A and B are shown apart, each in its own frame.
Chain A
């Protein structure tokens, strides 16, 4: 069985407190190293903050593109695509094609750039 482990945390302007950074980094590295050695790690990425997010929502067949993260409590995370695109417009074009409707209700695609974080060597 494959599982998606999603990290939820509180964003702070300028990132986590400097004194916490090393601890967070080494803890991630430990998980990544061990999971990778055991062959269970399929992928891991950090996201840029929600201020970098763009939402694409279909409304009567027309895509509505807006600034900011997805923010509907009545909708739940249902899946994800990870794509290498040349720019945000290309990502938006893909997002428009991804169906979000479920049980007659429309959903939303949130596009978030992936941060280039260091990896354990």
Chain B
């Protein structure tokens, strides 16, 4: 995915390739941090966006001639900072002119330029402030996700639209509305105090995990875009751990994403969904597994685990099994039981029932699953899980009926194809 600001303007003929690469790499590595600092300084998302874009454009114009500065990130920040001061001066002159006439319009507070000049350039908490603001509970989940990707991830509106299969105009409007609400309802730009941190961390973690799942779910859409979403979510997960290292659930979330991501290449073969059991385990990313295991281990040492840590621990047990038969289903069932205690949802109960089936026997598991029918009758995975157990019990025709019900409810093309293949398998039995 291209997310360099240079990408938005016509390429300058003969522009030095290394300069372009330098600009791109600064953008990827530092745009979130620079943007976060600019918002703190100016109090305005729009100004900060504009200032940052202009600063990157200035780099493309100046670096080929003057060379790439030693500290390229600081160069961009200083340049953007100067732009902010310019805007503020211009706005002030404008405001003085308008003041006599001013009525009714809600004028956004503008810090004066002397204040802007005195504010420190970087504070360690800038990105944390930004992520808490973007994921403020008074914004809709869609707006939280879009703002987080736009500001901290540096994705363009077009890229976000593409990733979420939404029209670009819809995404653009969603961002405009969210920014307006931040300004007009005065959503604070700060890290919540300790007594509210847990409550406010939840939407932040949920947004990051949603971005990951959007990339991970085998929906249609560009594979590269999706892979990039996973990478972005993992990067944001790392930022969260780095900024709030004491929060075990942040580590749990990071570990969970790493362990899922390690199976990314194995779960699709020639465009087809491959179940965990049938995956070629030699293609699992051992680097990510090793890191995920270390992270989850360190999280679990910090007291009673939350839902992300429990899910990460389950993913870790799968990752550690050399073959499907060696999976420690007993421990997985125990972990699902704990997860169920903190999150008593029928979906968790379904997973719990499946792990019991694998551990204690299909008959017991099937009984457990069927108790959930009333709540999950419209959920395709309920029928798919039930069908899978019937298949394992050689009850082919019943399995086929259940697979067909699942197929009727599945919306994702890749999942539909998977269910169709299973139905064909049942038919030839």
A54, A67, A113, A118: the one contacting B143 at CB < 8 Å is: A67
Interface range on chain B (Cβ under 8 Å from partner):
20 to 34
Does chain A have a CB within 8 A of B305?
no
Q: Are A115 and B138 in contact (CB under 8 A)?
A: no
Q: List, sorted by A's number, 20 A–B pairs whose CB atoms are closer than 8 Å.
A: A53-B185, A54-B137, A54-B185, A66-B138, A67-B138, A67-B140, A67-B143, A68-B140, A86-B188, A87-B186, A87-B187, A87-B188, A88-B138, A88-B185, A89-B187, A113-B185, A115-B106, A116-B106, A117-B104, A118-B104
CB neighbours (8 Å) of B106 from chain A are 115-116
Q: Are A88 and B140 in contact (CB under 8 A)?
A: no
Q: Are B185 and A52 in contact (CB under 8 A)?
A: yes
- What mask results when residues 2 to 38 of chain A are scored 1 for a CB within 8 Å of chain B, else 0? 0000000000000000000000000000000000000
Question: Majority SS of interface residues in chain A?
Answer: mixed
Knowing A54-B138, A65-B137, A67-B138, the reply to whether A88 touches B104 (Cβ < 8 A) is: no
CB neighbours (8 Å) of A118 from chain B are 103-104
Q: Are A67 and B184 in contact (CB under 8 A)?
A: no
Knowing A66-B138, A67-B143, the reply to whether A113 touches B187 (Cβ < 8 A) is: no
Write the residues of chain A forming the contact surface with B, with a CB cutoff of 8 angstroms. Answer: 48, 51-54, 63, 65-68, 86-89, 92, 113, 115-118
CB neighbours (8 Å) of B235 from chain A are none
Q: Are A52 and B181 in contact (CB under 8 A)?
A: yes
Does chain A have a CB within 8 A of B139?
yes
Write the residues of chain B forming the contact surface with A, with a CB cutoff of 8 angstroms. Answer: 103-104, 106, 136-140, 143, 177, 180-181, 184-188, 192, 196, 199
Question: Which among A51, A68, A89, A115 has the highest number of chain B CB atoms within 10 Å?
Answer: A89
Give the number of residue pairs across the A-B interface with Cβ within 8 Å. Answer: 47
Q: How near does chain B come to A70, taking the closest CB pair, in angstroms?
A: 13
Q: How near does chain A come to B199, taking the closest CB pair, in angstroms?
A: 8
User: How far is A33 from B27 in the complex, measured between Cα atoms in Å?
Assistant: 57
Knowing A52-B181, A118-B103, the reply to whether A113 touches B186 (Cβ < 8 A) is: yes
Q: Are B188 and A89 in contact (CB under 8 A)?
A: yes
**9 nearest A-B residue pairs (beta carbon):** A54-B138, A65-B137, A87-B188, A67-B140, A52-B185, A87-B186, A118-B103, A88-B187, A113-B185
